[in-house]
Amino acid sequence: MDFTMFEKQHLLEIAQTPMPFGKYAGRTLIDLPEEYLLWFSKKGFPEGKLGLLMALTLEVKIEGLQELITPLK
């Protein structure tokens, strides 16, 4: 995943964007289980902005940086 297009606004979107489909529909991206995001990383993230945000969310979780996102909720 190419993170060169990453912007500060994406952190706010990770905190406030609900998952639009699937088992965790309605949960904000930062609240998705890491295992769910890892599954997507193996199968392929959705196209477009949602996929980028999900990939960034996974990186935030892997690096243990959730505390950066929590205040933005």
Query: For residue 21, which phi and psi values (nearest 5 degrees)?
Result: -155, 170
Average pLDDT over the chain, rounded to whole?
90
Quote the crossing angle between the two packed helices 8-16 and 48-62, to the nearest 10°.
90
Higher-confidence position of 3 and 56: 56
Q: How many CA atoms lie within 13 A of 65 on its CB side?
A: 13
Is 0.85 surpassed by the pTM of this model?
yes
CA nearest to 59, candidates 49, 73, 69: 69
